[in-house]
Structure formats: structure tokens, C-alpha cells
């Protein structure tokens, strides 16, 4: 297969979509009774879903690839045609493709008169494959660049666990062999850094069937990371003038009806509990509770801005098929705060949140990010968005003006705003280029008025404040999942669950190791002694497997000379320090939150 293509003339997305059709054709050759699902493109690749007579195994992928390569070399043309909907349904039933029939019947319900197909046509005009598809495609299979089938997965038809479970084959395709190999190398690195894999190996978190799906349990090591992040957030928020509050995990449904959240978020909320003839919900968000704290005492303009912060635990009923490690869960601890301010104060408060983002990016070594300004779609007023067209226009202009003044680059996106106002969502890329939606900065012009929140202005008039909803670190769950992959489990010293492990070379030096542990412990460091009945080399390997930043091997020389032999995980070097010199080095890294 040639890897020399005119990359300027090839639409990469269309090429990958065409490759997914070649995959479907190859699978049908291996399994003539295969039932086809869908085969869309995704970031850097494609997939196709199948119902098959047996379960595929990884060893099947090279066999399918071989058939795909043969199809590519045949230079089959992609030819589109449209057929009347009724005729299309009859045809799909005839060739026994029930999932395509399902899709076609849905199109019929929406009033579609015709359905689009693509045929794979040989050079002699023979049609060898046909698929219901809107396209686009490239001209022929010979234009498909180097490809690779990467892995298998299970997927419910239409993403609904009540439907049949299909087998999904993932693949990737690039214009050149070099691009493909670079991508495959990146995939291998992503597997190595997968937060689910590392979370288990480093004893950070676990899930239990008895607790329930999507409800993570933090192990001691993971709890350390969560608490360090919370300490960081508290320090930054204290410095920025926030005050901390606490709210309960459940409330009457009446609160969410009044705030409007019940109408817009009920599908993502756990079912209500009936108590004393009242419906109670576990909270999916903190904002209505914070509004009640705001309204507990009268406010004047002199009390604003008021910044209420909480690491509150929220619960959202995510579909079980969408749950994914720590990235999508049902129990989440939010780095949440709400800023109540006047219109005059808005720009500075909004930009202060943006500056907080940028400081966190520096602390965690996040160099690639984009801020998405999510705007409303006027056609959704009254249903998806509060029906206040003038306030939407005014508030969105305020956000745009603030962003322009700060010279912060943003990408504007239509129809992704919160129901109560525009927002900025922050997308970041990890060290290996994986994308995450991390944080949010939302403006609420509607709910304060709806909840009866007021302050008295300089002229003695009652006004509704603006509210900024912000969560610069998102949730513990998603952010820690990101950090695991970003650092590959090798956390900087300040964030590492265990910062120092002491390895005595024999039991003879156990008491010396314990003396050192207590000295480090008194300095506030997380340190442990490996006193297991194992060889020193095995203990060293164990410490490296746990990615502990510093390992101290202590024996007769160290005890006699009052020195420390220090192995550095990050640099893979070994040096000798005095106790005071090493302690000073580590404390500087911890207090300065150095990236290492």
C-alpha cells in the first residue's frame, strides 16, 4: 500500500470514512451474515459496529486488515446514489440489514423522501458493496492512506443498554506512513498512561459493584492527591477574597423547581425520595444552595462582590454506557464557587477567574488549552434557554467585551450556553496530547431574579445581582484522571501520595531508617519505610513501580557519615546529601509546588 498521497487534495475525514466502508466490506467477506451498524469518523480515526456470529479476538484484526489492503488495491470507486425512502427500506430488509432498516425507518418518520447510499464499484462496473450513508467519501479506495485497526470494544446499538450489544472495531488512517506511526506510538503511550490502569497500579481509587457504577472510592493514595488539590484551591481562593460555605447533600425538589434546574436537568438527576409527603433530591449542583445562603441576610452594594466557595459533593445520573473511569462518574466533588456582583464589578470578577485558570495551568504544566465561549441559539429560547432575548444579547456582549480587554483568545461556539447565560468552557491537552474539558466560567443573569436574590444599590433601589458560576479545577474526579495521564502517574513531589521511601539495606539499620522517617514526618512530609523481608533490589524496584519521587537507601555508610544516598525517580540519578541539604531541597519543591 502506497503512503505517497497528495495530502492537499485529500479530505482526511472523508478518507477515514471511506476506510470505515472498506472495513465493513472486509468484515462482510469474513462473515457474510454480519449485520452492519454505523461507521463514523472520530478524532484521528474511525470505527464500525457489527453484529457477528462470534466474538472477535485481537488476532482477527490483522486478518481483517489483510482483506482491507486487498480492497484498497482494487481501486474501487465510491459512487453515491439516492433512492426513495420506501424502496430503500425494502432493499435493506431484502439484504437482511436490520440496523440499517431501523435508521431508514427513523428517517421516514422525520419526513425524508430519499435516502443516500454509497456503492463500491469495481473497474469493470461490478458493485461489490453498498452501504446506507450520507458521505462524504473520496473518489476511490486507492486514495486511502496507511491505516491500522487498533482495538475492539462493545457498544450498545444507539448507545442504549436496552438494545443489542454490538462489536465495535476501531481504526485509524493517515495520509503518510510517518503520521500513522507517530500516532500509533502516541496511542501506546496513552495506553501506558491510562488513568484506569495507573489508578489500579498506584492504588489511587477503586470501584465496587456493591457501592454502584460511577461511584468512585478513593484509596489513601488517591485521597492525598484530592486533599492536596483542595488545599491549593483553598489557598488561592483565600488569597482572592473567597469565603467558604458548606451545604447538605440533598434538598426539597421545590428548591430546584424555583431555580429552574428541575426543568432543564431532571434527566441527569437521581429519582426523588418521598419523605413526609415531600420530594427530596440528592443535589446535582451547588448553586441553588449557595443562593439560599446569599438570601439569608439582606445585602447592599457594599457587600458585593460576595464570593462563596465550596468543595461540595454532587450526584448526577449518567447513563451507565457513558461511565468512564474517573472521567465520567455519578458522584463528583466540585471545585465550585459563586460570585455575586454588580454589573460594574462583572468584568473584573470574570477576568479574575480567567487569571486563576492561567495560574493553575502554570502550576500543572498545562501548555496547550483553548477557551470556548459558548453562546445561546435564539431558536432555543423558552425551551433550552430562558426566554430573555435582550438579556442574552446584553450579557453575551459583556463577556465578549471582557475577553477582548484581557486579550484572551477564545473560540465562539453557538448553542452550547448554560440555560441561564453564556459561559466559557476550558479544554486542555495533556502532555501526550489527549484532550479534556476541564473547567467552566458561567454567567447567570436569570436565576438570581427567579430566586428573588437582591441587593440595595447606591440609590436605595433593589437590584438583582449577576452571578458567576466557576470551577477552575472542575471536579476532583475528572481533574485527577487528567493529572494521572498528564504526569503518567509520576506526580511532582508536592502532589505525590508518598514523597519519600526509605529502604534500609538490612534489619540492622531499621531503627536508623525509623529515626529518619520521624524527622521527615515532623517536617510535614509524607514518608514511609520499606521494612519488608525482601532484597534491596526488589525494594528499589517496588518504589520505582509506585513512581515515588525520592528513595533513600540507608546502610552502614549513611549511618556512620550521617548522609543520605538519594535516588531521584524523575531524573533516574543517584546523589549523596546531608540530611539538612536534602530536606531543604524537598521542602523547597513542596512549598513552591515545583513541577520537577
Question: For the segment 210-223, what is each residue's pLDDT rounded down to a tens digit?
Answer: 999 999 999 999 99
Closest CA to 223 of 547, 474, 476: 476
Residue 156 pairs in a beta bridge with 165
Least confident interval from 319-323, 351-355, 522-526, 536-540:
319-323
Distance CA 130, CA 140 (A): 14
The reply to whether domains 12-188 and 500-591 share a CATH topology is no
- The reply to whether CATH 3.30.70.100 applies to domain 12-188 is no
pLDDT confidence of 4, banded at 50, 70, 90? Answer: very low
Average pLDDT over residues 137-156: 94
E strand intervals along 342-391? 368-375
CB-based contact 176:146 (threshold 8 Å):
yes
Distance CA 74, CA 22 (A): 11
Question: For the segment 294-352, what is each residue's pLDDT rounded down to a tens digit?
Answer: 999 999 999 999 999 998 899 999 888 788 999 999 999 988 999 999 999 999 999 99
pLDDT confidence of 10, banded at 50, 70, 90? Answer: low
What are the Cα distances from residue 106, in Å, to 67, 110, 113, 120?
Answer: 33, 7, 12, 25
Is pLDDT of 94 > 80?
Answer: yes
Q: Is 530 helix (H, G, I), strand (E, B) or coil?
A: coil
Is pLDDT of 355 > 50?
Answer: yes
Residue 422 grid cell = 453564556
- Burial class of residue 257 (count of CB atoms within 10 Å of its CB; 0-12, 13-18, 19+): middle
CATH of 500-591, one of 3.40.50.800, 3.20.20.70, 1.20.1740.10, 3.40.50.1110: 3.40.50.800
What are the Cα distances from residue 259, in Å, to 159, 264, 451, 462?
Answer: 31, 10, 6, 20
Mean of all residue pLDDT scores within the chain: 92
Residue 211 grid cell = 457501592
- The reply to whether CATH 3.40.50.720 applies to domain 205-485 is no
- Please report, for the chain, the start and end positions of each structural domain, with discontinuous segments joined by +: 12-188, 205-485, 500-591
Least confident interval from 101-105, 107-111, 521-525:
107-111
Distance CA 203, CA 200 (A): 5
Amino acid at each position: 500500500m502506497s503512503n505517497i498521497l497528495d495530502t492537499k487534495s485529500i479530505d482526511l475525514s472523508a478518507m477515514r470514512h471511506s476506510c470505515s466502508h472498506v472495513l465493513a466490506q472486509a468484515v462482510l467477506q469474513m462473515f457474510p451474515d454480519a449485520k452492519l451498524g454505523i461507521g463514523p469518523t472520530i478524532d484521528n480515526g474511525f470505527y464500525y459496529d457489527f453484529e457477528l456470529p462470534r466474538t472477535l479476538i485481537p488476532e482477527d484484526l490483522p486478518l481483517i486488515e489483510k482483506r482491507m489492503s486487498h480492497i484498497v488495491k482494487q481501486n474501487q470507486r465510491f459512487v453515491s446514489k439516492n433512492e426513495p425512502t420506501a424502496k430503500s427500506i425494502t432493499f435493506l430488509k431484502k439484504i437482511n440489514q436490520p440496523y440499517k432498516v431501523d435508521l431508514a425507518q427513523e428517517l421516514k418518520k422525520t419526513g425524508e423522501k430519499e435516502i443516500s447510499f454509497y456503492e463500491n464499484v469495481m473497474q469493470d462496473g461490478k458493485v461489490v458493496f453498498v452501504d446506507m450513508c450520507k458521505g462524504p467519501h473520496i473518489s476511490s479506495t486507492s486514495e486511502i492512506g496507511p491505516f491500522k485497526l487498533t482495538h475492539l470494544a462493545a457498544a450498545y446499538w444507539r448507545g442504549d443498554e436496552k438494545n443489542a450489544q454490538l462489536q465495535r472495531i476501531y481504526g485509524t488512517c493517515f495520509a503518510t506512513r510517518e503520521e500513522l506511526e507517530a500516532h500509533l506510538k502516541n496511542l501506546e503511550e496513552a495506553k501506558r498512561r491510562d488513568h484506569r490502569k495507573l489508578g489500579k497500579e498506584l492504588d489511587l481509587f477503586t470501584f465496587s459493584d456493591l457501592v454502584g457504577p460511577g461511584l468512585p472510592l478513593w484509596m489513601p493514595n488517591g485521597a492525598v492527591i484530592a486533599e492536596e488539590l483542595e488545599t491549593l484551591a483553598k489557598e488561592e481562593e483565600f488569597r482572592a477574597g473567597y469565603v467558604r460555605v458548606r451545604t447538605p447533600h440533598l434538598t426539597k425538589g421545590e428548591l430546584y423547581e424555583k431555580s429552574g434546574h428541575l426543568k432543564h436537568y431532571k434527566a441527569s438527576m437521581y429519582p426523588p425520595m418521598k419523605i413526609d409527603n415531600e420530594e427530596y433530591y440528592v443535589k446535582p449542583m451547588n448553586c441553588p444552595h449557595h443562593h439560599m445562603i446569599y438570601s439569608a441576610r439582606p445585602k447592599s452594594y457594599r457587600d458585593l462582590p460576595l464570593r462563596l466557595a465550596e468543595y461540595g459533593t454532587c450526584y448526577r445520573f449518567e447513563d451507565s454506557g457513558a461511565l468512564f473511569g474517573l472521567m465520567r462518574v455519578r458522584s463528583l466533588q466540585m471545585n465550585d464557587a459563586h460570585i455575586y456582583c454588580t454589573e460594574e464589578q462583572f468584568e473584573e470578577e470574570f477576568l479574575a477567574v480567567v487569571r486563576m485558570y492561567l495560574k493553575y495551568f502554570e502550576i500543572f504544566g498545562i501548555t496547550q488549552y483553548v477557551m470556548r465561549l459558548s453562546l445561546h441559539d435564539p431558536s432555543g429560547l423558552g425551551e433550552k434557554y430562558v426566554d430573555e432575548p435582550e438579556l442574552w444579547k446584553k450579557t453575551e456582549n459583556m463577556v465578549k467585551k471582557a475577553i477582548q480587554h484581557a486579550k484572551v483568545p477564545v473560540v465562539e461556539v453557538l448553542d452550547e450556553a448554560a440555560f441561564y447565560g453564556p459561559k466559557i468552557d476550558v479544554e486542555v491537552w495533556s502532555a501526550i496530547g489527549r484532550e479534556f474539558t476541564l473547567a467552566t466560567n458561567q454567567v447567570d443573569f436569570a436565576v438570581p431574579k427567579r430566586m428573588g436574590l437582591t441587593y440595595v444599590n447606591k440609590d436605595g433601589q433593589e437590584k438583582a445581582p449577576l452571578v458567576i458560576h466557576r470551577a477552575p479545577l472542575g471536579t476532583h474526579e475528572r481533574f485527577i484522571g487528567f493529572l494521572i495521564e498528564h504526569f503518567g502517574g509520576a506526580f511532582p513531589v508536592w502532589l505525590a501520595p508518598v514523597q519519600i521511601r526509605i529502604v534500609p539495606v538490612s534489619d540492622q539499620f531499621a531503627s536508623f531508617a525509623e529515626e529518619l522517617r520521624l524527622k521527615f514526618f515532623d517536617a510535614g512530609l509524607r514518608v514511609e519505610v520499606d521494612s519488608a523481608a525482601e532484597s534491596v533490589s526488589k525494594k528499589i524496584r517496588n518504589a520505582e513501580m509506585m513512581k515515588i519521587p525520592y528513595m533513600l537507601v540507608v546502610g552502614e555508610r549513611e549511618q556512620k557519615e550521617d548522609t543520605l544516598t538519594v535516588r531521584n525517580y524523575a531524573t533516574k540519578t543517584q546523589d549523596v546529601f546531608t540530611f539538612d541539604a536534602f530536606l531543604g531541597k524537598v521542602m523547597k519543591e513542596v512549598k513552591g509546588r515545583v513541577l520537577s
